[in-house]
Structure 1
Amino acid sequence: MILCIDAGNTRLKWGLWDAAAGGGHDGARWRAQGVCAHADCVALASALPAGVDRMLACNVAGPEVATRIEALAANLDVPLTWFRSSAACCGVTNAYDDPSRLGADRWAALIGARGFHRGAALVVMMGTATTIDVLDASGRFRGGLILPGLELMRRSLARNTAGLPEARGRYRELPTNTDDAIESGCLAATLGAIERMAKAACRPTSADFCVLLSGGGADALAPHLDLPVRRIDNLVLEGLARVAAGC
């Protein structure tokens, strides 16, 4: 089995992928999945079932977390491969000015998205940051946006203004209280970015267009998005699994 690691800005997600089992990229080959704090990464070694043969890791959390992932591999006594962005992988091509500068998590998510949907798509990852990436029907990543995630927007308003709270309101088209105004503003900003990118780059009127939505903020956003949506958990892990299994 292959231990896939997605070390994001806030936490670490992991999954055990059985490349020898039957099934496709619909979760049938995942033997286990979980989430932990970065500081608890090394302790995973004692919690995982036997049979891990190797590790494939994507890390955007910095060198300290990389050291912990390397220690985990040492404790498991398995080889570790670092997943990095490239010019092409698993039928996806990278149109970034410098393909190596694309975040490895965004690249993995694009590869995962291609395994689920073969038409034109927006790949939207809603974590600490929100990324909105254009993947055309040929599998070419054409570019994308990065903006603060919903929680980061809320905290920024509370931290940098004198009179605004760290709101926990709800979405309304015409908010009439401050908490709802903040929550609705954060969601509307994200929705507007998604809809603008879809209109400009993906022709959402085409029959094969879809928004592939993943990440912790996806559930808050999805009900308000007026585009075809497919909600997929752990899209970065899905991309790593495709790479680990040879696509």
Structure 2
Amino acid sequence: MMLLLDAGNTRIKWSVADSGAEPGNWRAAGGFEHAEAASALPAVLAAHPGIDRVLGANVAGPAVRAQLEAPLAAAGLPVEWLTATAARAGVHSAYTVPGQLGADRWAALIGARRLHRGPCLVVCAGTATTADLLDADGLFCGGIILPGVDLMLRALADNTAQLPLADGHFRDRPRCTADAIVSGCLHAQIGAVERMFAQIAGQPGALCLLSGGAAGRFAELLAVPWRHIDNLVLIGLATCAADPA
């Protein structure tokens, strides 16, 4: 049985799966804040005593990595941390320096390839939003990173004198400041995704795969074919488990 860990900038998501099970067919899944790792992770291990392998993707830095490794080491479980490489599990990287790609983006691309064999735009919307192009042959062609929705909202509130941390709604023609701010930030996300998708829009089977906690805030506003996938990074890690580096 495997424990999969996605250590993101804000939260840590996890799942437990049988070895060899179809990725996404979890025994259990959940999440916790960085500061909760010391108590939350032992609780996961206690609830699933058959865990004998741990795979993870970490973009939260060395301190969070250490917080996760300590209780796992105490249980005799080393972590196999994913790092981006030139190729793995049917995905090939065109990144200038493959190892500089974030482990979460690499895992998401691998998960996307497992789920969709046509050209796709892989969008992960969290603290940051990433939009990565994957062609029908499994080549990662490149992608973008931009601030996520909440980060955009906070940037306006923190760096302007008269714009609040808005709790507005998306409107086609906003008529109040809160709606104007929220609509502007969502337009930025939508526009970035749609411009990236335009590069593959004419190809057969082209699809946008959306994941991440903020994806639901703009998915319905997109004018491209899309599919929402929960925990795409974890699906990628599960796929890697059956494909040695």
Q: Do they fold alike, i.e. is TM over 0.5?
A: yes
Q: Residues 192-227 of structure 1: CA distance to partner in whole angstroms, max 9, x if unpaired?
A: 11111111x21x133300000000111111110010
Could you tell which deviates more after superposition, 161-170 or 11-20?
A: 11-20
CA contact (8 A) 2:166 2:181 kept: yes
For structure 1, the 5+ residue unaligned runs are none
- Please identify runs of 4+ aligned residues in structure 1 that moved more than 2 A: none
Query: How far is the alpha carbon of 1:2 from its aligned partner?
Result: 0.9
C-alpha distance in 2, partners of 1:88/1:60?
20
- The structure 2 residue matched to 1:210, chosen from 207, 212, 215, is 207
**Aligned mates of 2:38, 2:241 — CA distance in 1:** 21
CA RMSD, aligned part only?
A: 1.2
Residue type at the aligned position of 2:96: D
Q: How many residues align?
A: 241
Percent identity reads 53
**Is 2:33 aligned against 1:37?**
yes
Moved more, 41-50 or 163-172: 41-50
Aligned pairs for 1:152-167 (under 5 A) are: 152-167=151-166
TM-score in terms of structure 1 length: 0.94
Instruction: Determine the C-alpha separation between the residues in 2 that align with 1:76 and 1:176.
Output: 57
2:102 aligned partner: 103
* Cα separation, 1, equivalents of 2:103 and 2:58: 7
Kept in 2, the 8 Å contact 1:212–1:232? The answer is yes
Tell me the TM-score normalised to structure 2 length: 0.95
Does residue 7 (structure 1) correspond to residue 3 (structure 2)? The answer is: no
Q: Which runs of 5+ in 2 are unaligned?
A: none
Q: 1:20 deviation in Å?
A: 4.2
On the 8 A contact 1:45/1:75 being kept in 2, the answer is: no
Structure 2 distance, partners of 1:168, 1:112, is 33
Per the TM alignment, residue 70 of structure 1 is displaced from its structure 2 partner at its CA by: 1.2
In 2, are the aligned partners of 1:119 and 1:137 still within 8 Å (CA)? yes
Contact 1:55-1:80 within 8 A present in 2 as well: yes
Alignment of 1:1-247 (within 5 A): 1-21=1-21, 24-25=22-23, 27-28=24-25, 30-43=26-39, 44-48=41-45, 49-199=48-198, 201-202=199-200, 204-246=201-243
SS in 2 for 1:67: helix
Give the letter aligned to residue 17 of structure 1: A
Deviations, residues 125-176 of structure 1 (Å, cap 9, x unaligned): 0000000000011000000000000000000000000000101111111111
- What are the Cα deviations for residues 96-116 of structure 1, in whole angstroms up to 9, with x where unaligned? 000000001100000001111
**CA–CA distance in 1 between the matches of 2:2 and 2:232?**
16
Secondary structure in 2 matching 1:68: helix
